A and B are shown apart, each in its own frame.
Chain A
Amino acid sequence: MTQNPYLWLIPVLPLAGAAINGFMGHKSSKKAVTTVALVFPGLAFALALKIALGFSSAAAPYVFDLAHWIRSGTFSVDFAFYVDQLSLVMLLVVTGVGFLIHIYSVGYMADDPSYYRFFSYLNLFMFFMLTLILANNYLMMFVGWEGVGLASYLLIGFWFTKDSAASAGKKAFIVNRIGDFGFLIGLFLIIQHFGSLNFTEVFSKVQPLAVESGGAGLLTAIGILLMVGACGKSAQIPLYVWLPDAMEGPTPVSALIHAATMVTAGVYMVARSHVIFERAPVALTVVAVIGTLTAFFAATIGIAQTDIKKVLAYSTVSQLGYMFMACGAGAFSAGIFHLMTHAFFKGLLFLGAGSVIHAVGGEQDMRKMGGLRSYIPWTALTMGIATLAISGIPPFAGFWSKDEILWKAYQANWVYWIIGLVTAFITSFYMFRLLFMTFAGEYRGAHVDSHGQAHSTHGHDGHGHGDPHESPPVMLVPLVTLALLSTIGGLVAIGNHFEHFLNPVFGSAVQDALETDNHGTELLLMVVSVLVALFGAVLAWVLYVSKPYLPQKIAASLGAFYDTVANKYYVDEIYAKVFVKPLVDASTTILWQGVDRKVIDDTVNNAADGARHVSDEVRHMQSGNLRSYAGWIASGAAIVIAYMIWRGVGQ
């Protein structure tokens, strides 16, 4: 354990940026806003790099106690920061990818009238995310957890004049409340039974406990409740519905918050709590099953989406499912590894999608794109790399992490592996579908007659101008950087370096022993998954490049099933019917009209009315007439005297 007095600066720097831009942005120049918006997260990134470069596993964890927060009896919570191998990985991903996306946003949001507001929110998000990661206890983590939820809400609804954006923000916030409820109850259980929320203390108390068999133990309950929280934040079944809608936000937001960082908070939290989960096999199974189902389910929806960002959104949900699958299989380091590579390639995919949307003037429908390869070559190239990475084609980053997960899933239970493999195929298919629909073939969008006359301005970015055009360098640099990371980011896994690096956190798992015997199987599975991914790519090529008339035929022949998938299995509609409508109805009739108006309002109004009626009568006594007052006094005195005479004085 080593003290590091600079740790607190990492989250506080972006907070300073948010405050400066938030309070003074409206009257400072755009250049000043940009400088503030970039310098503070940049400094945080530099600090994180400095810690990473000087990081030694022997000295870890690095801690810094900033201040006391809550002291109540024996229970105490501090503002304290904590960096071990796990948080270091997260720290680098969040500050690094976050910084790149900040740079990108300078170009992407250049024409937005609320430029300063955007960066203020974005910096605020960084602050909360870093708080979440660097917390040394669950409560501070929860503060960050809620804070990123707030930032996410603000940024989804960034274009709040658009009704769909405003309601998407609300949806994200409300759905997350459900998850947070579970998280909170889990924390209460931890406090009740372990008397602390400090990671080190809780885990040292959990460590000696036996593995719960047969389920239904305390740790199982805590694990499942924490997983409920993770389901909300990380968009897993059944709470994933908010994430696709969150695409209403500006694209850099989708990249940063709804792909690379915030949505992975759930994975981080589960991995952080691995001590609890490892002793609760039932909870682990729940995690794995939810993850596997989500991975598969979301991937199938992704096939039939036509909005470029919606495809990526469902892809994100699906990839997060992979991470949970890994955690559920006990391979936390594989989950975190995929989290990291996913941050690279999915961030890149979103930024690329943003660049595409920028190029075609706000259009998001892939059916109106196509042939963009020649217009925006850099975007096409980088998105191609990202697609290769997410599809799991070697040697790109996604291959290493996805393969690791599938291998660990296979060891845990071959059913996970089968579903994971099918999902990998679907992933490869829909990603190449996206790539081909966007970049290959002929441009299907409306051409413009004269420069500056927008063809379609329904999009929020709304600067339709002429032919599709490449984005400015400030947007391309992050794209290229992330493309590089997506290419080589997976190489850290060679020789299991990444896993060994995380071993001090997760403990050298039993798998180490297994591994040596099973190299043959591992290699075989690897080959199978690569073949499956290639097959998906080829299928997409056949369907969307060489025989573009086929998809419609297939869709038509599938009929109702295709409709169901295209409409996302009607999950939103079912939720609306089963949960939202009864809630709204009950709130309207019982709570609003019944309790609020009939009980509370009427009580208050009746009390006021009653007081007025009584006063109306009583005020006649106060006529202002001197003699009537005297009369009152005289008659009062007469009554008192009469009473005294009747009772007799002094008895």
Chain B
Amino acid sequence: MVPLSYYLVLSGILFACGVAGFLIKRNIITIFMSIELMLNGVNLSFVAFAAHWKVLAGQIFVFFILVVAAAEAAVGLAIIIAIYRTRETLNVDQVNLLKL
């Protein structure tokens, strides 16, 4: 059996990769993917704990997060398309005004 700490370390690495990608990347799609990475890093730690402590709550949380992430992906991608149509760029540094 793989010890809990392995999962947690992997989860931390995934989360850190997501954060780093979020901070470094300029392409909004990449940033979006980094967010997903962070979410999944968290998911991993949830299921790891759930399995370890034999409590179902963690796994149910993961389902919720998946659902929210899916919804977020739908809305987020729609926004990205709208932004691309008006600004013709996906570089977040050029999308720093709240108004057009």
Q: Is the CB of B97 within 8 A of A627?
A: no
Which chain B residues lie closer than 8 Å to A630 at the CB level?
Answer: 19, 22-23
604-651 of chain A: CB within 8 A of chain B: 623-627, 630-631, 634
CB of B51 within 8 Å of the partner chain: no
Interface string of B75-100 (1 = CB under 8 A from A): 00000000000000000110111100
By beta carbon, the residue of chain B nearest A627 is B23
Q: Are B23 and A624 in contact (CB under 8 A)?
A: no
Whether the Cβ atoms of B95 and A626 lie closer than 8 Å is yes
Tell me the smallest distance from the CB of A307 to a CB of chain B, in Å: 72
Q: Which A residues touch B98, using CB under 8 A?
A: 624
Chain A residues whose CB sits within 8 angstroms of the CB of B24 once the complex forms: 627
Chain B proximity of A537: nearest CB distance (Å): 92
Instruction: Give the CA-CA distance A618 to B67 in the complex, in Å.
Output: 38
A631 touches B23 (CB 8 A): yes
Q: What residues on A are CB-neighbors of B96 within 8 Å?
A: 623-626
**Distance from B41 Cβ to chain A, minimum over Cβ atoms (Å):** 13
The docked-state distance in angstroms from the alpha carbon of A627 to that of B26 is 8
- Chain B residue contacts of A625, Cβ below 8 A: 92-93, 96
Contacts across chains A and B counted by CB atoms under 8 Å? 24
The smallest beta-carbon distance between B93 and chain A, in angstroms, is 7
Chain A at the B interface: SS class: helix
Minimum Cβ distance to chain B for residue A576 (Å): 63
B92 with A626: CB separation less than 8 A: yes
Interface size on A, residues (CB 8 A): 8
Residue of A nearest to B97 (CB): A624
In the complex formed, the residue of B with least CB distance to A623 is B96
Verify B92–A627 contact, CB threshold 8 A.
Answer: yes
Contacting residues of chain B (42-100) with chain A, CB-CB under 8 angstroms? 92-93, 95-98
For the complex, give the distance between the alpha carbons of A623 and B93 in Å. 11
Report whether B97 and A634 are in contact in the complex, using a CB–CB cutoff of 8 Å.
Answer: no
B93 nearest in chain A by CB position? A625
Contact indicator per residue, chain A 451-488, by CB within 8 Å of chain B (1) or not (0): 00000000000000000000000000000000000000
CA of A631 to CA of B22, assembled, Å: 9
Complex Cα distance, B93 from A624, in Å, reads 9
- With both chains docked as a complex, state the minimum distance between the C-beta of B96 and any C-beta of chain A, in angstroms: 4
Shortest CB-to-CB span from A77 to chain B, Å, is: 60
Query: Which of chain A's residues have a CB closer than 8 A to the CB of B19?
Result: 630, 634
Q: How far is the CA of A113 from the CA of B31 in the complex (A)?
A: 79
Q: Which chain B residues border A631 with CB–CB below 8 Å?
A: 23
Nearest CB in chain B: distance from A31 CB, A: 63
Residues from chain B with a CB closer than 8 A to the CB of A634 are 19, 22-23
A457 → B minimal CB distance (Å): 66
Which residues of chain B come closer than 8 Å to A624, judged between CB atoms? 96-98
Find residues 1-42 in chain B having any chain A CB closer than 8 Å to their own CB: 19, 22-24, 26, 31
Residues of B within 8 A of A627 (CB): 22-24, 26, 92-93
User: Which residues on A sit within 8 Å (CB–CB) of B23?
Assistant: 627, 630-631, 634
User: How many angstroms between the C-alpha atoms of A634 and B26 in the bound complex?
Assistant: 17
* Cα A630 to Cα B93 with chains together (Å): 13
A69 to chain B, nearest CB (A): 57
Residue of A nearest to B24 (CB): A627
Q: Which residues on A sit within 8 Å (CB–CB) of B95? A: 626
Task: Determine the chain A residues whose CB is within 8 A of the CB of B93 once the complex forms.
Answer: 625, 627
CA distance A136 to B32 in the complex (A): 84
Q: List residues of chain B with CB within 8 A of the CB of A623.
A: 96
Q: In the complex, what's the smallest C-beta–C-beta distance from A150 to chain B, in angstroms? A: 55
Report the nearest A residue to B28, measured CB to CB. A626
Q: B69 CB to closest chain A CB, in angstroms? A: 18
Q: How far is B21's CA from A630's CA once the two chains are assembled, in angstroms?
A: 11
Q: Which residue of B lies closest to A634 (CB)?
A: B19
A514 smallest CB distance to B (angstroms): 96
- Distance of A630 Cα from B25 Cα, bound (Å): 12
B91 to chain A, nearest CB (A): 10
Least CB distance from A628 to B in Å reads 9
Smallest beta-carbon distance A401→chain B, Å: 85
Q: Which residues of A contact B92 (CB under 8 A)?
A: 625-627
Distance between Cα atoms of A160 and B95 in the complex (Å): 63
CB distance from B79 to the nearest CB of A (A): 13
Nearest-CB distance from B57 to chain A (Å)?
18
Q: Which of A565-620 contact B (CB under 8 A)?
A: none
Chain B's closest residue to A638 (CB) is B19
Question: From residue B28, how far is it (CB to closest CB) to chain A in Å?
Answer: 8
**Chain B residue at smallest Cβ distance from A625:** B96
CB distance from A217 to the nearest CB of B (A): 77
What mask results when residues 91 to 117 of chain A are scored 1 for a CB within 8 Å of chain B, else 0? 000000000000000000000000000
CA distance A625 to B95 in the complex (A): 8
Return the CB mask of A248-264 against B: 1 if under 8 Å, else 0: 00000000000000000
Q: Taking the nearest CB of chain A, how far is it from the CB of B36, in angstroms?
A: 15
User: Cα distance A631–B19 when bound, in Å?
Assistant: 9
Closest to B96 in A: A624
Q: How far is the CA of A626 from the CA of B90 in the complex (A)?
A: 13
CA distance A627 to B93 in the complex (A): 8
Q: How far is the CB of A450 from chain B (nearest CB, A)?
A: 76
A580 to B19, CA, bound (A): 76
- Complex Cα spacing A627 to B91, Å: 11
Give B26's nearest chain A residue, CB to CB.
A627
Which of A623, A625, A626, A634 has the largest number of chain B CB atoms within 10 A?
A626
A20 to B3, CA, bound (A): 96
Some 24 contacts from A to B, beta carbons below 8 A apart, are A623-B96, A624-B96, A624-B97, A624-B98, A625-B92, A625-B93, A625-B96, A626-B31, A626-B92, A626-B95, A626-B96, A627-B22, A627-B23, A627-B24, A627-B26, A627-B92, A627-B93, A630-B19, A630-B22, A630-B23, A631-B23, A634-B19, A634-B22, A634-B23
**Chain A interface (Cβ < 8 Å from any Cβ of B):** 623-627, 630-631, 634
Ranked nearest first, the 10 interchain pairs of A and B with the lowest CB-CB distance are: A624-B96, A626-B92, A630-B22, A625-B96, A634-B19, A627-B23, A631-B23, A630-B23, A624-B97, A627-B92
17 more CB-based (< 8 A) A-B contacts, given A624-B96, A627-B22, A627-B23: A624-B97, A624-B98, A625-B92, A625-B93, A625-B96, A626-B31, A626-B92, A626-B95, A627-B24, A627-B92, A627-B93, A630-B19, A630-B23, A631-B23, A634-B19, A634-B22, A634-B23
